[in-house]
């Protein structure tokens, strides 16, 4: 199946060009990746899923929720006391930042961000979109982890 990369780029443009999102380029993620690339990869898999399975929920918000799932904006590798328990806490921080920056955040996006770390965090997603980002985040994380010797993710 062919996917329209221009449509995807149009959907993500607003978010990835904000100053806040750009800062994610400097935050490491899973050895060789950074948060900026990681978030776009997760959003792209969600975009493809939506197209392939003709999902009913709104694509624009699904992609934005995926882009913002790790919008916590710090480097968790920094040895700071507040970075302990990063895995358990960062989804709350990401939601707080996303709410502040994007005032029209939908309940679906809130669910996608807040519960994407399930089962590490105890509350499961409430929406289909929430389950999907939870799943594709893990798919991307595993690929990143095992591609540590390669330059590119694909
Ligand atoms: Fe995360
Ligand atoms: Fe993630």
Residues 59-77: pLDDT tens digits?
999 999 999 999 999 888 7
pLDDT in tens, 114-147: 999 999 999 999 999 999 999 999 999 999 888 7
Distance 117 CA to ligand 1 centre (A): 6
Distance 62 CA to ligand 1 centre (A): 16
pLDDT confidence band for 154 (50 / 70 / 90):
very low
Which candidate, 114, 109, 121, 117, places its Cα nearest to that of 137? 117
Distance 1 CA to ligand 2 centre (A): 25
pLDDT confidence band for 153 (50 / 70 / 90):
very low
Contact between 124 and 115 under an 8 Å Cβ cutoff? The reply is yes
Distance 138 CA to ligand 2 centre (A): 7
Please report the domains of the chain, with CATH numbers, ordered by start residue: 5-146 (1.10.3210.10)
The backbone region for 31, taken as left when phi is positive above 0, alpha when psi lies in -120 to 50, beta otherwise, is left
What mean pLDDT do residues 9-32 have? 91
Distance 38 CA to ligand 2 centre (A): 7
Q: Is the whole model's pTM more than 0.85, yes or no?
A: yes
Is pLDDT of 98 > 60?
yes
Angstrom CA distances, 44 to 3, 9, 49, 92, stand at 10, 9, 8, 23
Is pLDDT of 79 > 60?
yes
DSSP secondary structure letter of residue 124: P
Cα 129 to chain centroid distance, Å, stands at: 12
Q: Residue 81: helix, strand or coil by DSSP?
A: helix
Task: Show the tokens assigned to 16.
Answer: 């990835």
| Radius of gyration of the chain from its Cα atoms, rounded to whole angstroms | 15
Contacts of 113 (CB under 8 A, 6+ apart): 65, 68, 69, 71, 91, 94, 95, 98
Distance 61 CA to ligand 2 centre (A): 17
Mean pLDDT of the chain: 92
Looking at the chain, the whole-number percentage of residues with pLDDT higher than 90 is 77
């Amino acid at each position: 199946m062919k996917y329209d990369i221009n449509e995807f780029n149009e959907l993500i443009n607003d978010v990835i060009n904000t100053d806040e999102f750009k800062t994610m380029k400097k935050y490491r993620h899973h050895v060789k990746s950074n948060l900026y690339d990681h978030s776009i990869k997760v959003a792209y898999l969600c975009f493809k899923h939506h197209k392939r399975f003709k999902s009913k929920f709104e694509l624009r918000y699904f992609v934005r929720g995926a882009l913002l799932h790790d919008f916590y904006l710090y480097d968790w590798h920094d040895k700071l006391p507040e970075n302990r328990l990063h895995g358990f806490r960062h989804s709350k921080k990401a939601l707080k930042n996303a709410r502040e920056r994007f005032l029209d955040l939908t309940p679906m996006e809130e669910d996608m961000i807040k519960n994407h770390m399930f089962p590490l965090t105890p509350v499961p997603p409430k929406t289909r979109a929430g389950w999907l980002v939870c799943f594709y985040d893990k798919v991307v994380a595993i690929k990143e982890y095992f591609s540590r010797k390669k330059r590119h993710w694909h």
